[in-house]
Structure 1
Amino acid sequence: MLTEANDIMVTINDTTLRDGEQTAGVAFSADEKIAIAEALSRAGVQELEIGIPVMGTAEIELIQAITHLHLPARLMAWGRMCESDLLAIARCNVNIVNLSIPVSDVQIKHKLGRDREWVLEQIQAFVPRALDLGFEVCVGGEDASRADSDFLLTVAATVQQAGAQRFRFADTLGLLDPFATYGRLNLLRQEVDIDLEMHAHNDLGLATANTLAAILAGATHANTTVNGLGERAGNAPLEEVVMSLRHLYSIESNIDTTQFPHISQLVAAASGRPVPVNKSIVGDAVFTHESGIHVDGIIKNPLNYEGFSPTEVGREHRTVLGKHSGSHSVIDAYAKLGLILSELEAHSLLNMIRIHAILTKCTPSVDDLKRFYLENAACTGMPS
């Protein structure tokens, strides 16, 4: 049975500083990591996965530097379920540890050279040790989406019996659709009482949809990254998950969404990965209108062509001139320059604007518009 959306509480666990940084070619500096952690926490993101201690002393020192900020967000470190990783994590003053272990037969056999029983034994051995160190424990089921269903339920039950507070379901290769995701998480929800976290990758472009499906099925936590940064096609974008929860299901994550543009640009600069102009929520082209029909509708009432107010995410709508503009848009644009056009002038200038857009692939600047006005006046003999 579908969970009532009004009864759902969701914790956002943002992994920009861990899985996001695992994007090929991305390497944050210490100052960049600290700035991103501060920005996310300031916006109200409840949990941050901030690094991989076994990478070495420099990584541990950076994790400690973030913990020393005493941010309101709870902090998590990531590691494999093995001796070396746990010893490295023990040197970090984080709140939560994610101990990751493969749970699909293909990875158990071909990555680890082990069997299912060994996986269960590792969980039984390492979860209590991490608890004894004072950490809250999340067990990450790597490649859970390809795991045998019965074995996955056994893993989750073992995780709970071992004393862990959370199980992370990882769609490591981004292979699921929302229907399969809902089914898998719903089975887990019926099997265990501990928290469930969805970790979705975007290889098929379904990371956000799968995260939402998991939440509706009973997941209590959602992994995200800013701008959808992450390995290969990336992870579920923070901004998409939060805004979708709000507008599709009236589920609030208590995050200040007006901070999204700043956080997005901060991560884009630090990662060297520019945000596509048509990226939902934070792309430059979002809330930008050119089509004459759309602009006319926006002028009459923004609700005609905007599903939610851009002010929710610290943005504002704007109109631009181009091939698909209408004469009313031209009149409006020139009025803002203090120039009142007749319908005849507007049609002449619209033709010049369309030619400009086709040749340059750009919208005309203010200087371009002034130049068109003067050229059109010279051609028609009208006073400028």
Structure 2
Amino acid sequence: MEESRKVILNPQNNLLQLEEHLYPLVDVTRPNTFRNLFPYDEIPKIAFNDRIVPHHFPEKIWITDTTFRDGQQSRAPYTTEQIVTIFDYLHRLGGPKGIIKQSEFFLYSKKDRDAVYKCMEKGYEFPEVTSWIRASKKDFELVKEIGMKETGILVSCSDYHIFYKMKMTRREVMNHYLSVVRECLETGIAPRCHLEDITRSDIHGFVIPFCLELMKLSEEYKIPVKIRACDTMGYGVNFPGAVIPRSVQGIIYGLTTHAGVPSEMLEWHGHNDFYKAVSNSTTAWLYGACGINTSLFGIGERTGNTPLEAMVFEYAQLKGTLDGMDTTVITELAEYFTKEIGYHIPPRTPFVGKNFNVTRAGIHADGLLKNEEIYNIFDTGKFLNRQALVSVSNTSGLAGIAHWINSYFKLKGNDAVDKSSPVVVKVKEWVDKEYDEGRVTVITDEELIQIINDVKSEMSIGENKFQ
């Protein structure tokens, strides 16, 4: 039989290639749950077929936020005032170029709707306020009532959801989804289709045929139809040559190349069940997704989402610039969550944890005191308004204690102490006594603050220092 596919020019690499086969919907009678990869009574398996896809890093990439949607599904709801305050922080963090492009909200409670109205009243171009709904016409009425320009729509795509949760066939569920998307487009609202559980889905038998239909609707209505690839269970892997549906780059390649989804209409939503949320998200950028969906501090379902602050620094490393993002806001957000919301940030959390740039080992502390670049990842004082700290132990000496006091209390100039300061000498005497009596652990910040307060009281030191 004569080959009917056209030879076309690929604008990405200027090489001739055969036009891709179309992918029809495979309407199976029984669900394909990929038991060979996900046996459930065993640890999931990572298989390889060594099919390698090319990098396709978009010219522009950005971050989207789900702190008020997925982030709220795993904790006590934020108050309206807290949501508005955090939204202000996100606006500042994203900078003048709006690298944090969107933030999505629930619409179901009055509190959530009040927060949406107050955030929209801010008049910020970025982050754009968007919503999230289930694929139901009742939910869509909420979007129309508020006047949203874009809404996310839950379109679960694995057979686990289609057969076991929704009790439909693939064709039935696709027709249902398309009817809701079409209604969304009829009113001029841009839909963002959340392909839930994509890393356990039949990519060629359902996801690509479905997305092809979505792209046809986008062309028909001349309105963008966005695709969010949701690694709902954290099964995605970024190893070259891994098989789909677990391969992140394989999924992104399939959506852009076979389903024709433009990079600017594609984003990745990751979870951290297997510690891969950040690396998978970065991989999605590298292989063609412009958007990465995140949540502040990774707060989200089960093990959480991709942390927003992590992708800020991934962005800077990939692009070679922060593009105006104000990273000191990350520290302000961490302090707000800790002091005002009462959220406990694990102390070893990168960028925001209490101990993330604290050096404890004696030999490392000595190196940091001589030159902080030796044991600090970058100028944390400049980018996060957090000076590198040296924890105090029996090896710290007077200089180490002085460094801790100046760093912790942010003392500079005439307010700074040196190793001859009476306060430093007194603290050193207490530290030496602790270790002479058999202590083997480092001194905690709380202990140092207490002993410094005791010394202040004993020596009648004014309140202008050590606040």
- Provide the residue aligned with 2:433 in structure 1: 352
Superimposed CA distance per residue, residues 277-303 of structure 1 (whole angstroms, 9 cap, x where no aligned partner): 111011111221222222222223222
Counterpart of 1:174 (choices 226, 231, 234) is 234
Residue pair 1:50, 1:63 contacting (<8 A) in 2 also? no
Query: Quick one: which amino acid aligns to residue 12 of structure 1?
Result: I
Bigger helix fraction? 1
Q: How does 1:106-145 map to 2 (within 5 A)?
A: 106-145=160-199
Superimposed CA distance per residue, residues 303-345 of structure 1 (whole angstroms, 9 cap, x where no aligned partner): 211221102123221222026646763586699355279xxx9
Query: Quick one: which amino acid aligns to residue 78 of structure 2?
Result: F
- Provide the residue aligned with 2:13 in structure 1: none
Work out the percentage of aligned pairs sharing the same amino acid.
22
**Structure 2: which 5+ runs fail to align?**
1-52, 219-223, 240-246, 406-415, 456-467
Q: Quick one: distance in 2 between partners of 1:138 and 1:237?
A: 21
Normalised by the size of structure 2, how large is the TM-score? 0.71
Task: Return closer, same or farther for 1:365/1:46 CA change in 2, 3 Å cut-off.
Answer: closer
Task: Return closer, same or farther for 1:367/1:106 CA change in 2, 3 Å cut-off.
Answer: closer
- Provide the residue aligned with 1:29 in structure 2: 79
DSSP-derived class of the 1:78 partner: strand
Residue pair 1:12, 1:222 contacting (<8 A) in 2 also? yes
Q: Does 2:255 correspond to 1:188?
A: yes
Q: How does 1:219-368 map to 2 (within 5 A)?
A: 219-247=289-317, 250=320, 252=322, 254-268=324-338, 272-310=342-380, 311-322=382-393, 325=396, 329=400, 336=417, 339=420, 351-354=432-435, 358=440, 362-363=444-445, 364-365=447-448, 368=451
Counterpart of 1:199 (choices 260, 269, 274) is 269
DSSP-derived class of the 1:285 partner: coil
Q: How does 1:75-114 map to 2 (within 5 A)?
A: 75-114=129-168
**CA-CA distance at 1:269 after TM superposition:** 5.0
Q: How many residues align?
A: 366
DSSP-derived class of the 1:293 partner: helix
Q: Which moved more, 1:329-338 or 1:86-95?
A: 329-338
Q: Quick one: distance in 1 between partners of 2:227 and 2:91?
A: 23
Residue pair 1:323, 1:357 contacting (<8 A) in 2 also? no
**Structure 1: which 5+ runs fail to align?**
373-384
**CA-CA distance at 1:231 after TM superposition:** 1.1
Normalised by the size of structure 1, how large is the TM-score? 0.85
**CA-CA distance at 1:18 after TM superposition:** 0.9
DSSP-derived class of the 1:273 partner: coil
**CA-CA distance at 1:178 after TM superposition:** 2.2
- Provide the residue aligned with 2:125 in structure 1: 72
Q: Quick one: distance in 2 between partners of 1:144 and 1:266?
A: 34
Residue pair 1:140, 1:170 contacting (<8 A) in 2 also? yes
Query: Quick one: which amino acid aligns to residue 20 of structure 1?
Result: G
DSSP-derived class of the 2:325 partner: coil
Structural RMSD (CA): 3.0
Residue pair 1:296, 1:328 contacting (<8 A) in 2 also? no
Residue pair 2:56, 2:287 contacting (<8 A) in 1 also? no
- Provide the residue aligned with 2:210 in structure 1: 155
Q: Quick one: distance in 2 between partners of 1:271 and 1:247?
A: 31
